[in-house]
Amino acid sequence: MVTVGDTAPAFTAPMATGDSATAVEQFSLSEALDDGPVVLAFYPAAFTGGCTDEMCAFRDSMAAFEELDAQVFGVSVDLPFAQNVFMEHNGLTFPMLSDADHDVIEAYGVVKGPLQGIQRLARRSVFVVDTDGTVAYRWLREEGETTDYAELVETVREEVAALA
């Protein structure tokens, strides 16, 4: 499992931009790091209660991340087309990365499953990657843990701010 101080696994993935149901671009972590620190917020599945709450907490704090030149990306195994609809439905203003092949959740060690017949989902987790590609912060939700997402997002913002 990837932990603080490790080099973040490099990856490329389809990126839902939310501009339309079919708006998909290619994302590369190494290229994104050229523009500042990256927050990867893994969530199990679009349109579920906890995932919506988590992503909306990030949405509500986007101005604070933008002030720090940090980029936030949601990451799930959902297809980008579903992520685009999820973004539109919830007014999410940051891109979603599709890991339908499960390569990213495996590389980061955040595989959750089986769950209701679905073998591999993303485990709810957050990684902050600094511009050198090093994991500066990691949070993993423990099974059964109740999470205050506003508090979590504030902690993530503070970790990003500490990189400056």
Residue 56 catalytic?
A: no
Query: 73 CB contacts (<8 Å, ≥6 apart)?
Result: 15, 27, 32, 38, 39, 40, 41, 94, 95, 96, 97
Closest by CA position to 35, among listed 69, 4, 8, 62:
69
Lowest-pLDDT choice from 63-67, 106-110, 139-143, 152-156: 139-143
3-class DSSP assignment, residue 55:
helix
Nearest to 112 by CA among 39, 38, 48, 37: 48
Which pLDDT does position 12 carry in this prediction?
A: 98
Domains and CATH numbers, the chain: 12-161 (3.40.30.10)
On whether the pTM is more than 0.85, the answer is yes
Least confident of 68-77, 91-100, 116-125: 116-125
CB under 8 Å to 27, separation ≥6 — which residues?
A: 12, 13, 14, 15, 73, 95, 97
Catalytic residue among 46, 51, 72, 136: 51
Q: Are 42 and 135 within 8 A, CB to CB?
A: no
